[in-house]
Homo-oligomer: A and B are copies of this chain.
Amino acid sequence: METSFTNAQRAEVLTAALPYIKSYSGKIVVIKYGGNAMVNEQLKQQVMEDIALLWLIGVKVVLVHGGGPEISDTMKRLGKEAVFIDGLRVTDKETVDIVQMVLAGKVNKDLVNLLQTKGGHAVGLSGIDGGILEAAVKSEKLGFVGEITKVRTQPITDLLEKNYIPVISTVASDRQGNVYNINGDTAAAYIAGALEAERMIMMTDIAGILRDKDDPSTLIPHITVEEAKKLYDQGIICGGMIPKVDCCIEAISHGVKNVVIMDGRIPHSILMELLTDEGAGTMVTKG
């Protein structure tokens, strides 16, 4: 990271980015950010820097985040033990309160804060604000785990129009005011779909879809929904890849043009994906 470039080299790189900048200018890109890429502080700084840069050059970035480890930490510190029924984690009222507090109060504002220090203008929202995410009970047994019943994009597009980066934490509410914990990937897919985003980027801790899950050199750079479905049948999409790819397919079915699963642990992977000819991870498209 200490490379020293000549001015000519800098100019060359900037110029090479021109066609990519052009193609994303004014377009909506939803970035799902969470998990391990979020844990490493330096990586988090770089991701926020990348997002601030994209915003500055005219991309309409919407950042959707989860916050796994911080929730668990806080629950543990509060002496709240996880409850399981039939092997599934139950979200009681106290738990959903903690989830809301950590996601909307800690993780969300920390990301907003970072974006601001990097030169972006960011406003943090939760699915509760302006009624962005309306949800209902998914399964009585699981308590306040919600499934999305309605997405109101108005507050998001209002903020985009005013030139802010909306940062959204994935809690939702119903009309009675009950709050629900929502799966972050699913929420991002719904939001990206409702916004008819040009692209959705899922920052994960896997390299993308691999033909051989243990060999990064077998990365599939581009795949259609139909092809992906075949890879399920062949058992190639397996394990932790399954929910990620499911979510890509869901986003595309909601109207997103293409979805990229990318390894958030690689520095500046977002910029590589959007502003260079190499790309990163696996892109899933309709057909």
On A, residues with C-beta under 8 Å from B are 1, 3, 5, 7-19, 21-22, 25, 46, 49-50, 52-53, 56-58, 74, 77-79, 97, 100-106, 108-109, 112-114, 116-119, 121-126, 128-131, 155, 158-159, 162, 164, 171, 173, 175-177, 179, 267-268, 271-272, 275-276, 278, 280
- A103 CA to B100 CA in the complex, in Å? 11
- A50 CA to B119 CA in the complex, in Å? 23
Q: A105-B101, A122-B129 are in contact. Are A17 and B10 (CB under 8 A)?
A: yes
New A-B contacts (8) at CB < 8 Å, excluding given A8-B268, A11-B272: A7-B276, A10-B275, A10-B276, A18-B53, A78-B78, A102-B105, A104-B108, A116-B173
Contacting residues, chain B, for A109 (C-beta < 8 A)? 100, 104-105, 126, 128-129, 171, 179
- Is B17 within 8 A of A118, CB to CB? no
Q: A57-B56, A119-B19, A125-B123 are in contact. Are A14 and B12 (CB under 8 A)?
A: no
Contacting residues, chain B, for A46 (C-beta < 8 A)? 15
Contacting residues, chain B, for A278 (C-beta < 8 A)? 7
User: Within the complex, what minimum Cβ distance (angstroms) separates A247 from chain B?
Assistant: 25
Contacting residues, chain B, for A7 (C-beta < 8 A)? 268, 272, 276, 278, 280
- A78 CA to B73 CA in the complex, in Å? 11
Contacting residues, chain B, for A176 (C-beta < 8 A)? 117
- Is A114 within 8 A of B16, CB to CB? no
- A52 CA to B19 CA in the complex, in Å? 10
- Is B17 within 8 A of A52, CB to CB? no
In the assembled complex, 8 residue pairs joining A and B whose CB atoms fall closer than 8 Å, in A order, are A8-B268, A10-B13, A10-B272, A101-B106, A103-B105, A105-B108, A109-B179, A113-B179
- Is B117 within 8 A of A177, CB to CB? yes
- Is A271 within 8 A of B11, CB to CB? yes
- Is A14 within 8 A of B162, CB to CB? no
- A53 CA to B119 CA in the complex, in Å? 20
